[in-house]
Amino acid sequence: MSPSSPSPACRNCHQLSPRTGSTAPSGKYEIEMNAKSEKLRATRLVIRNILVMGLLLCPLLGACAGVKDSPQAWPVVLIDRAVYFINTEGTDAIAAPGLYDVEPAAESRLRLIPIYGKDGLVIQAMALTHEEEIPSPVALALPSEETEYHLVLLLPDGKALDASGSTTQVRARGSSPARFLQAQVHSALKRLRTLRKVKTRLEEYPRLRLGKDEWQYQINDRWMTEPQAIEYLMKDEQ
C-alpha cells in the first residue's frame, strides 16, 4: 500500500469542506447546513404568518387605507389550495395558492389580483345579501363540504358576491350559496374577531426577540413562538 494512500478504514473519514477547502469530519458540514436551512424555513414561516394575519385582520380593524395607494382599498384573502373557478367565458379559471386582492369587477363578477405580481383573474360570482356589521369590505375564502370552495366578498352596505369554485374540475351539484353564506360567513367573521382580540392580548405578555421579525412570548410560565402563542390564546377564547 502506498504511504500516501489512506487506509481502508480511514478512506471515508474526511471530506473536503465546500466553503473553506479544508478537511472536515464527514457529514458535519451537511448537518450544519440542514440545521441552518430548517431555521431559515421556520423564520420565513413566522414572517409569512404575521403578514397574513395582519392583512386578513385589516378589514375588521377598519384600517386598510394604507394597504394600497387607491381611494378604495380592497381586502386581501389567502387561498390555501388550487381552486377551479368559472371565468367570464364559462371555462375554468385556476386560482393558485397565495394571497390575492379581491374586488368587484362588474355585475356578478370578482377580480382576483395576486399581490406578488402575477396575472389576475376575473371570475363569475352570485350577488347575495348579508346581515354582518363590518366597517369595510371583507373577503373570505371558505372551503365547504368535500371539494366545494367559496370565495365571498362582503360589502358594508349588506351586499355580497359569492364565487363558487371547486378543488377539482368535477363540480358538486345542488349547492345552496345563500344558506352557506349565512352560516359559514358568520363563523369565519367570529374567528377573525377572536383573532383580533388575541393579537391585542398578546401585547400584554412578556416577550423576547428571536430575530428581526420573530418573537417569543411567555404565557403561564411557558415560552412559545408567536404562532404557538396565538393558537394557545385562541383555544382559551373558545
Instruction: Give the pLDDT band of residue 14 (cuts 50, 70, 90).
Output: very low
Please tell me the predicted confidence (pLDDT) of residue 224.
94
**DSSP assignment letter at 171:** P
pLDDT at position 15 over 60: no
Q: Could you tell me which residues come within 8 angstroms of residue 199 by beta carbon, excluding any fewer than 6 positions away?
A: 53, 57, 230
Instruction: Give the pLDDT band of residue 228 (cuts 50, 70, 90).
Output: very high
**Rounded to an integer, what distance in angstroms lies between the CA atom of residue 190 and that of residue 185?**
8
Q: What's CA 117's distance to the chain center, in Å?
A: 17
Range from 90-99, 148-157, 177-186, 214-223 carrying the lowest mean pLDDT: 177-186
pTM: 0.60
Q: Where is 202: in which H helix or E strand?
A: helix 186-202
Instruction: Give the pLDDT band of residue 99 (cuts 50, 70, 90).
Output: very high
Please tell me the predicted confidence (pLDDT) of residue 143.
85
pLDDT at position 223 over 90: yes
pLDDT at position 83 over 60: yes
In angstroms and rounded to an integer, the radius of gyration of the C-alpha atoms of the chain is 25
The C-alpha cell that represents 98 in the structure block? 397565495
Say which residue the cell 481502508 belongs to: 8
Tell me how crowded residue 72 is: count the other CB atoms within 10 A of its CB.
11
Is the separation of the CB atoms in 58 and 75 below 8 Å? yes
Tell me the residue type at 149: Y
**Rounded to an integer, what distance in angstroms lies between the CA atom of residue 125 and that of residue 187?**
21
Tell me how crowded residue 229 is: count the other CB atoms within 10 A of its CB.
22
Is the separation of the CB atoms in 75 and 98 below 8 Å? no
The C-alpha cell that represents 4 in the structure block? 500516501
